């Protein structure tokens, strides 16, 4: 299922090794290890406060771990080969197109190539008609689609998504999920947190189940949903089924 032959030029697989993170009050992430090979969509599942968002931020490099390491196969230069989409996207005070152009410039894409790539990204995610609209006046769903278009415009190998649909209505959620399916088919590796069980079942190839800052279970999606090994995961699934 996964492409396990590492490409020497690729930054993947990503190896997270014995990752710990503590703030002044508490240890929030405890001894988390796993590897992300190329391809596929991995869902990080868990209740609020399990440490899912924190894990995404550590992987993207927004935070430095207290101990342990986030190790890439080949050290990426800059931030063009791994990108991140947040739960509430930050829209710059520019047009939709301006937001994409800004991300391309920041990722080091040469000036001559930016316009073409921006227009292609907007076109692909159905934002071409909105490209000159101020980004902050777009609807929630449009903003999140723009956030994804912006994140992948420079062509990253891996995309981290932190609860990208938790603020969206079912229609917008469906559009985002279709976008992610397309990215997966194009070979972009996706790692995404969610607490929406339905979404996890629809999208996941693999599930990382977290509980209270620890990684409890790491399994292929069909194995996990048929019967998780860990008691916490079973309880979580049961609670979700009642809901």
Partner 1 sequence: MTNTRRRHLAAWLCAASLFCAPAFAQQRSITVASTTSTMDSGLFEHLLPLFKARTGVDVRVLSQGTGQALDTGRRGDADVVFVHAREAEEKFVAEGFGLRRRPVMYNDFVLIGPKADPAGVAGGKDIAAALNALVGKQAPFVSRGDRSGTHQAELALWRAAGVDLTAARGAWYREIGQGMGAALNTAGAMGAYVLADRGTWLSFRNKGDLAILVEGDRRMFNQYGVMLVNPARHAHVRQADGQAFIDWLTSPDGQAAIAAYKVGGQQLFFPNATDPGA
Partner 2 sequence: MLWQCARAGGRRAHTAHGSGEQVDSLALALGLIVSLDPGFLAVVGLSLRVTATAVLIAALIGLPLGALLALKRFPGRSMVIVVVNAMMGLPPVVVGLLVFLALSRAGPLGALGLLFTPTAMIAAQTVLALPIVIAITRQIVEDLWGEYREHLLSLGLKGVRAVPTLLWDGRFSLTTGLLAAFGRASAEVGAVLIVGGNIAGSTRTMTTTIALETSKGDLPLALGLGLVLIGLTLLINAAAYGASRVGARHAV
**Interface ranges with partner 2 (CB under 8 A):** 57, 60, 62, 78-79, 83-84, 86, 89-90, 92-95, 98, 102-103, 106-107, 132, 134, 136-137
Report helix, strand or coil for 211. strand
Contact partner at residue 140 from partner 2, partner 1, none, CB < 5 to 8 Å by partner kind: none
185 binds, options partner 2, partner 1, none, Cβ within 5 to 8 A by partner type: none
193 binds, among partner 2, partner 1, none (CB under 5 to 8 A by kind): none
CB of 218 to partner 2, least distance (A): 25
Between 107 and 189, whose beta carbon lies closer to partner 2?
A: 107
Considering the complex, state which of residue 188 and residue 207 has its C-beta at the smaller distance from partner 2. 188
What's the closest the beta carbon of residue 101 comes to partner 1, in angstroms?
A: 5
**Contact partner at residue 97 from partner 2, partner 1, none, CB < 5 to 8 Å by partner kind:** partner 1
Binding-site ranges for partner 1 (CB under 8 A): 97-98, 101-102, 105
- Nearer Cβ to partner 2, position 46 or 76? 76
Distance CA 134, CA 50 (A): 36
Burial string for 96-109 (b: 16+ CB within 10 Å, else e) reads: bbbbbbebbeebeb
From partner 1, partner 2, none, which one binds at residue 101 (CB under 5 to 8 Å depending on kind)?
partner 1
CA distances from 95 to 101, 117, 223 (A): 10, 16, 44
Q: How far is the CB of 237 from partner 2 (least distance, A)?
A: 31
> How many angstroms separate the Cα of 28 from the Cα of each of 58, 178, 206?
12, 33, 23
CB of 96 to partner 2, least distance (A): 10
């Amino acid at each position: 299922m996964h492409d396990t032959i590492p490409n020497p030029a690729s930054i993947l697989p990503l190896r997270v090794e014995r990752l710990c993170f503590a703030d002044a009050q508490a240890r929030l992430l405890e001894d988390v290890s796993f590897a992300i090979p190329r391809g596929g969509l991995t869902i990080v599942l868990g209740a609020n406060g399990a440490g899912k968002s924190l894990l995404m931020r550590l992987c993207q490099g927004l935070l430095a771990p207290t101990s342990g390491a986030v190790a890439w196969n080949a050290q990426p230069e800059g931030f063009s080969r791994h990108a991140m989409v947040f739960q509430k996207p930050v829209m710059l005070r520019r047009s939709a197109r301006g937001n994409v152009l800004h991300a391309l410039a920041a990722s080091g894409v040469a000036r001559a190539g930016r316009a073409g790539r921006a227009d292609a990204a907007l076109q692909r995610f159905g934002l071409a008609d909105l490209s000159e609209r101020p980004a902050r006046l777009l609807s929630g769903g449009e903003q999140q689609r723009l956030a994804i278009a912006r994140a992948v415009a420079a062509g990253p190998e891996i995309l981290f998504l932190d609860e990208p649909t938790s603020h969206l209505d079912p229609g917008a959620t469906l559009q985002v999920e279709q976008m992610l399916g397309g990215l997966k088919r194009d070979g972009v590796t996706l790692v995404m947190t969610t607490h929406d069980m339905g979404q996890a079942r629809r999208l996941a190839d693999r599930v990382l189940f977290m509980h209270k800052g620890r990684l409890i279970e790491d399994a292929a999606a069909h194995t996990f949903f048929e019967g998780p090994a860990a008691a916490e995961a079973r309880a979580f699934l049961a609670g979700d089924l009642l809901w």
